[in-house]
Amino acid sequence: MGRSGIGYFGDDLMVEAPIKHCSALNSWCDMLLDRLEPPSGPMAALQSISRNQLEALPAPDRSQEDWRFCDLSPVAEIEPQQICSLSKPTAPVIANQVTRVVIGTDQDPLAGVALPDGLTLLNEAELQQALGPNSNLAIAKGQWPLELNQAIAPRVIGLRVSGSVEKTLELVCDASTNRGVIAARLLLILEEQAKLELLQVQLSAGANLTSVVVGVHLHKKAQLRHGLLALGHPEAALLTHLAIAQEPTSEVSHISVCQGWGVMRHEPQLNQLDGGAHTELRALQLVHSNQLADTHSRVRFNGPEGALDQLHKAVAAGNGRSVFNGVVQVPREAQRTNAAQLSRSLLLSDRARIDTKPELEIVADDVKCAHGATVSQLQQDALFYLQSRGIAPPQAAQLLLRAFCDEVICMLPSAAQAWQPLARFLDGA
């Protein structure tokens, strides 16, 4: 079996590579800032603040606990320039029940798009209020990836959701073979009893960096089903941050499927403001060759009777490395919290590595919280059973891998099926 942070059993000792401070990434960031156009548009003020922050902030390196397993140094090999315009991506035909918004083209992403009933644009005053320092969705100061996004993103797509939106909202960003950095930002406000299904598609086919920040506020009894389908390239990097604030009785389901990126860092951060909400997290990531995929999730309960159901799956082949760090915070006021967290990983190579680190920070005494982590290979008894039924070994292994992955992929919004997520995901296995 390969090496892992949890679940590795072997005779040899696991040895960490020496920690290197990423001076190259700091230099890369300085060059990027020098090449950016002066701040302009509705994001000008926030751009200026974040650019000043970046000049003083050191880039993340493995001396920091949150980045101990995540090496961002390959980002320094990407051209330090902003991608100002993307060509229209090649995408499947959308169904009648889907509204597609393409991010990154040289025009307003909402130009010519007929928003379905229940979706309206936030005005500039509402955007500024939602992005201000007193907002529940304000980005945390001092976090390099978030400041990088805010320093570059030319605009923020701000939408208010009222009632039940019948059509799925699909956001597509395809960096293609462009060289450089592209940043996008989305803000959603779901009013009381609002309901929305959102599919976010991130694509790349070359040496580029995509940075995406999504902020969501759910009022009471609001429901959000959010799918992230991220299919990348070995020379591409993806930095995504999801900040969700939930009021009592709201429900969130977040499903992420990521494969193919040279470096990927996904950060779902959820905050149950007063407890009494339900959160569901499902994730699947695949790495091979020398790829790195790192998911850092954090769920905080600030009131009683909140619920969490989290499943994180990973597949590591070749020299790939998968990282999962899941933090669940239950302070004293969060009595009667029910939180379950499970990490399941597959090693397809003796050179691959899995690091999984579930964390429960519990102060309340009347709770039901559990977590578990497993790292394994394809089960020999299952392979033998399939072979005994006349299925060749390669096909048997593929069937087992398909079943392992489809448990998460099938939970993506139905609009994702047009992208053939399972077939495209398994192409990288």
Average pLDDT over residues 346-351: 92
- In contact, 236 and 264? CB cutoff 8 Å: no
pLDDT band at 28 (very low <50, low <70, confident <90, very high): very high
Rounded to an integer, the average pLDDT of 79-104 is 89
Element (H, E) at 4: strand 3-4
Residue range(s) defining the domain that contains residue 408: 3-426
Quote the radius of gyration of the chain (alpha carbons, Å). 21
Please give the DSSP secondary-structure letter assigned to residue 162: -
Statement: residue 3 has pLDDT above 50: no
Q: Give the pLDDT of residue 74.
A: 94
Would the pLDDT of 143 be above 70?
yes
Report pLDDT digits (tens) over 225-242. Answer: 999 999 999 999 999 999
Residue 365 scores a pLDDT above 50? yes
CA 163, CA 119: separation in Å to the nearest integer? 9
Name the pLDDT band for 142 (thresholds 50, 70, 90): low
| Tally of domains in the chain | 1
Q: Does the pLDDT at position 18 exceed 80?
A: no
Give the start-end residues of each E strand in 28-112.
98-102
3-state SS assignment for residue 220: coil
Q: Is the pLDDT of residue 219 over 60?
A: yes
pLDDT at 14 over 60: no
d(CA 82, CA 146): 16
pTM of the predicted model, to two decimals? 0.91
Percent of the chain whose pLDDT exceeds 70: 91
The mean of the pLDDT values for the chain is 89
- 3 state SS of 87: coil
How far is 291 from 289, CA to CA, in rounded Å?
6
Taking 50 as the threshold, does the pLDDT of residue 181 lie above it?
A: yes
Confidence category of residue 1, pLDDT binned at 50, 70, 90: very low
Dihedral angle at the C-alpha atoms of 80, 82, 86, 90, nearest 10 degrees? 40
Give dist(CA 35, CA 152) in Å, integer: 11
